[in-house]
Chain A
Amino acid sequence: MEAVIRVRGLSKRFGDFTAVDQVDMSIPPHGVYGFLGPNGSGKTTAIRMMCGLLAPTAGEIEVLGMRIPEQTELIRRQVGYMTQKFSMYADLTILQNMEFMARIMGVRRAEQRGRIRELLQRFRLEPFSRRLAGALSGGQKRRLALAAAVIHQPRLLLLDEPTSEVDPNTRREFWDELFLMCESGTTVLVTTHLMDEAERCHHLAIINEGRKVADGSPEALKGQLGAGVFAIDGPQITAIRNHLEGVSQVLATTRIGLSLRVMLMPGVVDGLDWLREHLAGFTAGIEPAGATIEDVFVMATRENGAKGAGGAGR
């Protein structure tokens, strides 16, 4: 099937700073497509260009088969956009905000009430429908913003960090909603800087410093990881970490609870043996570990300053 969003050579410069750099992308329909990248990597800028809110410095964008900027207004009727920063009217109630969005998005008059009620129920907002949007909790605000973004039953939903600043329960519910929407035929593009969220996506593009550094399904990305990942435990992991620091075969080390995750450079053959040999003087249990998206991220971004996943951690 046709790609829902197709982007070629997309770049955005602010002055001499390049926020988005030569991105090519093709987003398939009916799935959750994730944009994973640390803060400041250009996710919001890219999504804004796809909504026609920012003009690209270079490149082409096609959304639902229509071109931006020529057909922006047509596209907007079929796209729902949830901004990273809460942008509903704080001095209007939930209901008033929803009514405003319904009218402005062209929901048929006869259907407005039913549609709003259905959404408020679905997002558990009905009890507060007369509360001012500004007085809502972080999670309620997010749910309101999502409800408003889907009021016109968009074919494509663009969500910019929809789950930052919400508790894990709300986040799980949120994702359940996203999968429901996918099942009913909506394509969802979601940005995140959270690794565990990225694992849930059907398809993933990893963005770093404005550049797309990897894409594919999470499984494929993990499978392609050309590096060994190992878990080390024992009483000496701090000393081990110091010992591994600066060793050329080691790509990254991460403390996780009582254990240490070590990722070796691609090309180190028989990693387990190499590690055992190298750590012979320490008391340590060394096991091969399954790759995670975080490992993929660290791997993909190692060229541009291999400082580990510091900016994109949990």
Chain B
Amino acid sequence: MSSLLQALIRIGAVCRKEVLHLIHDRLTFGMVVMIPLFQLVLFGYTINTDVRQVPAGLVDQPANSFSRQLALDLEATQVLHFIARCATPQELEGRIRDGELSAGLVIPPDAEERYQLGDRPTAQLVVDGSDTMVAGALRQLANFRFAPGRTLSNRDTPQAISVRLLYNPERRAALFTVPGLLGVILTMTMIMFTSIAIVRERERGNMELLIATPIRNLELMIGKIIPYIGIGLLQVSVILFLGVLLFAIPVAGKLLEIYTVCLIFILANLTLGLMISTLARNQLAAMQMFIFVFLPSMLLSGFMFPFVAMPRVARQLAEVLPLTHFLRIIRGIILRGEPLTGMGADIGYLLGFATLFLAISAFRFSKRLE
């Protein structure tokens, strides 16, 4: 027998054993379905929060003092912040689609004339509607009154800004929340399952038997995560099914992409959990470490609060978390129909993360009792 075949047999043996544990432990198995169900229903609606400094683009076609004043005054509301200039409305929309910008102001060549006549809106604010919280805040700018050179009452000035939502024009929060929940639920269950995978062997006294066998570290690690990949994909299916059924999430035609990304994300979380499991001395410690990772994922990844509106430090911290990258990808796919090819950096990060943590786990795990 070749040594590779032997390794595969050992991995298979561990896999099967883990599945048997799962089947025996009906509670855990039930959680696989119950967690998505509860969370989807609970988080059906999100909490609205203050949104500031949304990164926006500017298409300044007249490029005169009037248009500059308009842009400055709008920026003074602090709701948005122009970080890029675009030559055409098409370029602006492209950059919004790629997720680089969340909104953009288009000032047409005849802006000043429009303003004087007051029959049509002076400028248009194009908003990425996929993040309902950001969209909600930007929609308030429709009430913005522009009075260049004057400090007049708002009453007689015309409406300067019209707001157009690019995606999710019906502003359905669920469209935004459900892909987010997909990520949160996977983070929660995947890390939780594997974070106790090794600790449990230790606590139940099976470790001494297991490490006295010829199994290698990497084989044990791989054998332990494979069954949970299946569990994770099952959860993805449950969530997508419920999402389509309850909230009419549009997934048609994107299923392959969604599953691919979810698979990569599942791997990242499983390996992170595995690493926790090699660190923790008991199940309680594993749970504490899990929460240590899970809370920031909830709060910083852009699931709870809009990523663009967070302080810089928080955003940098969030870049470390797999969930941040996953949310960016999955919202791009489900809400904006972005192609996977445009999200190489985020996908690459998740793959690298999974590889790194699998290696760390195998390295850290010691076939010793100490």
1/0 per residue, CB under 8 A from B, across A85-127: the answer is: 1111111100010011101111011000000000000000000
Q: Decide if B214 touches A53 in the complex (CB within 8 Å).
A: no
A55 at the interface (CB under 8 A from B): yes
Binds A, one of B10-18, B284-292, B303-311: B10-18
| Of A73, A79, A91, the contact of B21 (CB 8 Å cutoff) | A91
Q: Decide if A106 touches B209 in the complex (CB within 8 Å).
A: no
| Of A51, A88, A96, A101, the contact of B20 (CB 8 Å cutoff) | A96
CA distance A76 to B212 in the complex (A): 7
| Known contacts A55-B370, A76-B214; is-contact A87 B209 (Cβ 8 Å) | yes
CA distance A89 to B206 in the complex (A): 7
Q: Decide if A91 touches B24 in the complex (CB within 8 Å).
A: yes
CA distance A54 to B208 in the complex (A): 10
- Which single residue of chain A is at the shortest CB-CB distance from B16? A100
B window 1-28: CB within 8 A of A: 1, 6, 9-10, 12-14, 16-17, 20-21, 24-25
CA distance A81 to B214 in the complex (A): 12
A77 at the interface (CB under 8 A from B): yes
Q: Decide if A108 touches B1 in the complex (CB within 8 Å).
A: yes
- Size range of the chain B interface in the assembly: 20 to 34
| Known contacts A51-B212, A53-B369, A87-B206; is-contact A100 B13 (Cβ 8 Å) | yes
- Which single residue of chain B is at the shortest CB-CB distance from A105? B213
| Known contacts A54-B369, A73-B214; is-contact A104 B14 (Cβ 8 Å) | yes
Smallest beta-carbon distance B198→chain A, Å: 14
Q: Decide if A88 touches B370 in the complex (CB within 8 Å).
A: no
| Of B209, B214, B368, the contact of A54 (CB 8 Å cutoff) | B368
B359 at the interface (CB under 8 A from A): no
Residues of A within 8 A of B6 (CB): 106
1/0 per residue, CB under 8 A from B, across A37-74: the answer is: 00000000000100111110000000000000000110
Smallest beta-carbon distance A14→chain B, Å: 9
Among B10, B207, B212, B215, max chain A CB count under 10 A is at: B212
CA distance A292 to B9 in the complex (A): 50
Q: Decide if A104 touches B213 in the complex (CB within 8 Å).
A: yes
Q: Decide if B13 touches A103 in the complex (CB within 8 Å).
A: yes
- Size range of the chain A interface in the assembly: 20 to 34
Q: Decide if A83 touches B208 in the complex (CB within 8 Å).
A: yes
Smallest beta-carbon distance B219→chain A, Å: 9
1/0 per residue, CB under 8 A from B, across A136-149: the answer is: 00000000000010
| Of B13, B14, B212, the contact of A53 (CB 8 Å cutoff) | B212
Smallest beta-carbon distance A5→chain B, Å: 15
| Known contacts A85-B205, A87-B206, A100-B17; is-contact A105 B369 (Cβ 8 Å) | no
- Which single residue of chain B is at the shortest CB-CB distance from A91? B24
Q: Decide if B24 touches A55 in the complex (CB within 8 Å).
A: no
CA distance A280 to B369 in the complex (A): 58
- Which single residue of chain A is at the shortest CB-CB distance from B216? A73
B312 at the interface (CB under 8 A from A): no
CA distance A77 to B1 in the complex (A): 14
Residues of A within 8 A of B369 (CB): 48, 53-54
CA distance A101 to B10 in the complex (A): 9
Q: Decide if B208 touches A103 in the complex (CB within 8 Å).
A: no
CA distance A104 to B205 in the complex (A): 18
B165 at the interface (CB under 8 A from A): no
CA distance A52 to B205 in the complex (A): 17
Among A48, A103, A104, A132, max chain B CB count under 10 A is at: A104
CA distance A79 to B209 in the complex (A): 12
Residues of A within 8 A of B214 (CB): 73, 76-77, 104-106
| Top 6 A-B residue pairs of the complex, sorted by shortest distance between their CB atoms | A103-B13, A87-B209, A91-B24, A81-B212, A76-B214, A83-B208
Please report A residues at the B interface, Cβ cutoff 8 Å.
48, 51-55, 72-73, 76-77, 79, 81, 83, 85-92, 96, 99-101, 103-106, 108-109, 132, 148
Q: List 30 A-B contacts (CB under 8 A).
A: A48-B369, A51-B212, A52-B367, A52-B368, A53-B212, A53-B367, A54-B368, A55-B368, A55-B370, A73-B216, A76-B212, A77-B214, A79-B212, A85-B205, A85-B208, A87-B208, A87-B209, A89-B17, A89-B20, A89-B206, A90-B204, A91-B25, A96-B17, A99-B16, A103-B9, A103-B10, A104-B213, A105-B214, A106-B10, A106-B214
* Apart from A52-B368, A104-B214, 19 more pairs, CB < 8 Å: A48-B208, A48-B369, A52-B367, A54-B370, A72-B367, A73-B216, A77-B214, A79-B212, A83-B208, A87-B206, A87-B208, A89-B20, A91-B20, A91-B24, A92-B21, A96-B17, A103-B13, A105-B214, A106-B1
